[in-house]
Copies of this chain bind each other. A is one copy, B any other.
Amino acid sequence: MNDLLTDRLAIADLAARYCRAIDRRDLAVLRELYAPGGVDHHTGFDGTIEEYISWLGTVLPLLDGTLHVIGNHLAEIHGDVAVAETYALAHHWGAPDDDPARNFTSLVRYVDRLERIDGVWRIVERWAVRERALSDVGRAVPGAVAGPAGTHGADDPLTRLLAEVRTAGQVHG
């Protein structure tokens, strides 16, 4: 199971799990994605994963929500070390809705140094290269969010569905 395709899928999944952890505000999952002592360089932040989690604990509650949409993903693997690049459109929203520091889309390239530790790929160092930030002020469509709601708790449709299926069956992926 240590072949190239399996490694590539594991690294791609890691990039997506990062986004899910931030967007669902599951910081315990986030910690597991970094190596012990892992480092993150972000707009407005520079430090270890432990410090990053503390910082997120202060800034995420200022927002109503985030959606870190990732696209392009390339990884180059050298034994137990890898370099990955993942493009992202990171959407942020929050009150007051006329504040462009809380209502914007960030265009980012995540540049990661990864290591395989005990068989699991983890982030050793990440540069979140922000290429541009675009204001979304004035763009919210009134009344448009009316279907199934996303939450940061156990009642989110994904969280609920995963709990249901994990109880019923046996995981193989």
Q: Give the CA-CA distance A158 to B133 in the complex, in Å.
A: 20
Establish whether residues A43 and B133, one from each chain, have CB atoms under 8 Å apart when the complex forms. Answer: no
Copy count, this protein chain? 3
Q: How many residues of A contact B (CB 8 A)?
A: 81
Closest Cβ neighbor of A41 among chain B residues: B148
Most buried by B among A4, A144, A168: A144
Q: How far is the CA of A162 from the CA of B114 in the complex (A)?
A: 12
A58-76 vs B, CB cutoff 8 Å, 1 = contact: the mask equals: 0000000101111111111
A48 within 8 Å of B (CB atoms): no
For A112, give the chain B residue with the smallest CB separation: B161
The smallest beta-carbon distance between A158 and chain B, in angstroms, is 5
Residue of B nearest to A77 (CB): B173
Contact call A8/B9, Cβ cutoff below 8 A: yes
Q: Are B79 and A132 in contact (CB under 8 A)?
A: no
Q: How far apart are A51's CB and chain B's nearest CB, in angstroms?
A: 15
Q: Which residues of B contact A89 (CB under 8 A)?
A: 69, 71, 89
Additional 16 contacts, C-beta under 8 A, given A42-B148, A70-B72, A136-B139: A5-B5, A19-B72, A67-B107, A69-B87, A70-B87, A76-B173, A77-B171, A79-B172, A109-B150, A111-B157, A113-B165, A127-B157, A127-B161, A129-B149, A129-B156, A134-B139
